[in-house]
Structure 1
Amino acid sequence: MQEASEYFHIGYKKLRKIIDEHPDADFILWNGTRPQIKRKLFEQYVDENLTAI
Structure 2
Amino acid sequence: MVRRLGALLYFEKKRRTFINEVPIWEKSNLTLEEAAAYSGIGINKLRQLTNDEDCEFVLWLGTKRLIKRRKFDEYIEKLYAFLLEL
TM-score category, normalised to shorter length = 0.7 to 0.9
- TM-score for the superposition, normalised by structure 2: 0.51
Moved over 4 A (4+): none
Higher Cα Rg: structure 1 or 2? 2
The structure richer in helix per residue is 1
**RMSD of equivalent CA atoms:** 1.5
Higher RCO (C-alpha under 8 Å, 6+ residues apart): 1
- TM-score for the superposition, normalised by structure 1: 0.77
- Give the aligned length: 50
Show CA shifts across 1:1-53 (max 9, x none).
11111111111111111111x234221110101110000101111111255xx
The structure richer in strand per residue is 2
Q: Aligned residues: percent identity?
A: 38
Q: Where does the alignment leave 5 or more consecutive residues of structure 1 unmatched?
A: none
